[in-house]
Structure 1
Amino acid sequence: MGIEEPYKDKKVITIGVVRELTGLSDRQIRYYEERKLIFPVRSKGGSRKYSFSDIEQLMLIADKIEDGVQTHEIRQELAREIKHHKADVRSMIQGQLNAQFGTRRP
């Protein structure tokens, strides 16, 4: 039995619905994809599919763009956040291992 993906991360929403929810144009949404700020999946027919998490990310991106932040700066910020998140997860797992097995690893 596999681990179920959280509903917020399931890529099931079409670009038309994303457009309606965000107020962004198709072109803006595709541009953010081209700039590697969001990562929709493609259906068998080639349509883009987005998640609720993608929609939240698009809203944050749009706000930053409106505030004058450049897309390359947003991408750098996202990369830093991912790096910090991975470090936090590693630290949490190490803490759980230490608690479970009474070991310490530098």
Structure 2
Amino acid sequence: MLSSSDNSYIHKKVISIGTVCELTGLSERQIRYYEERELIFPKRSNKGNRKYSFSDVEALMDIANKMEDGLQTSDLRKEITSKRLGEQKSESKEQMIRGQLNAYFKRRQ
């Protein structure tokens, strides 16, 4: 699984809202609504246009399916926030372990 700090093409914000509409079947209004409800976080170009990543497209499809199943945006926001906190904790643990290993091996040299 890729971390949120991964710079692979999956996370690069390069896709326009029109293309996202074509890929997901969602309207621009639906996509903007999900942004307003803080379910997705597109970047803005210098001209102010929204730019999405492939992971955003996947998230939008997941959001749309869950909304269709009757979930509310507030429930989805809690789920997304919880997932982000879990990823941050995991990254912090990894950094701490790396630091401990580096310190251990530097002492042994």
Q: In angstroms, what is the RMSD of aligned CA positions?
A: 2.0
State the identity %.
50
Query: Following TM superposition, by how much is the alpha carbon of 1:90 offset from its aligned partner in structure 2, in angstroms?
Result: 1.2
Q: What TM-score comes out, normalization by structure 2 length?
A: 0.83
Aligned partner of 1:84 in structure 2 is 86
Query: Which ranges in structure 1 are unaligned for 5 or more consecutive residues?
Result: none
Alignment of 1:18-97 (within 5 A): 18-97=20-99
Aligned residue for 2:40, secondary structure, equals coil
Aligned length: 101
Q: Which segments of structure 1 move beyond 4 Å, counting only runs of 4 or more?
A: none
Q: Distance in 2 between matches of 1:77 and 1:55?
A: 17
Write the distance in 1 (CA, Å) between the matches of 2:24 and 2:104: 49
The TM-score, its normalising length taken from structure 1, stands at 0.85
